[in-house]
Amino acid sequence: MRTLRHIRGFADRQSGTITIEALFWVITFSVLMTLISSASNTFYRFSEVQRHMQDSNRAMSIGLERDPDVTAARLEAELEQIYGSVTVSCQINGDVVSTVVQIPWSSLPLMGRLARNGTRNVEFRAAHILEWS
């Protein structure tokens, strides 16, 4: 009952201070939620790229694929379906397979302030120990 009275008082109040304060809070929380959802979406994309890289490295690691160029081409084809422009390099250094993926910042689904922050590439790295060498 008290809450209902408070809401009615808010609607009928002529001074406007509560309305202005509520407006500031709504704008602040809207900006904050947009930034949080954009950051969350970015981290989701990071985990998606990381999953594809780990799968490719694991295939090289256990010997399903033995040519780094074939692995890089397959990974690039998988990621280009999602992001468009992708650069992939895969190489074997001793008994470790290393993969580097570069994706343009503009290809990531960002909103607001995060979208305007960068024009460079985002670089992802992964490495696995070879079991077949």
Enumerate the domain spans of the chain. 2-129
pLDDT at 75: 95
pLDDT at 13: 67
Do residues 126 and 98 lie in contact, with contact meaning Cβ atoms separated by under 8 Å? yes
Helix spans in 13-131 (H) = 17-62, 68-83, 112-115
With 60 as the cut, is the pLDDT of residue 116 above it? Answer: yes
Helix spans in 63-111 (H) = 68-83
With 80 as the cut, is the pLDDT of residue 9 above it? Answer: no
Please report which confidence band the pLDDT of residue 1 belongs to, taking 50, 70 and 90 as the band edges. confident
Q: Which two tokens stand for residue 21?
A: 């304060």
Radius of gyration for the alpha carbons in the chain, expressed in angstroms and rounded: 24
pLDDT at 117: 65
Do residues 75 and 60 lie in contact, with contact meaning Cβ atoms separated by under 8 Å? no
Q: Comparing 25 with 20, which gets the higher pLDDT?
A: 25
Range from 24-33, 36-45, 58-67 carrying the lowest mean pLDDT: 36-45
Average pLDDT over residues 44-54: 89
In sign, the C-alpha dihedral spanning 19, 23, 25, 26 is: positive
Q: Comparing 15 with 33, which gets the higher pLDDT?
A: 33
**Crossing angle of helices 17-62/68-83, nearest 10°?**
160
Range from 7-16, 31-40, 92-101, 116-125 carrying the lowest mean pLDDT: 7-16
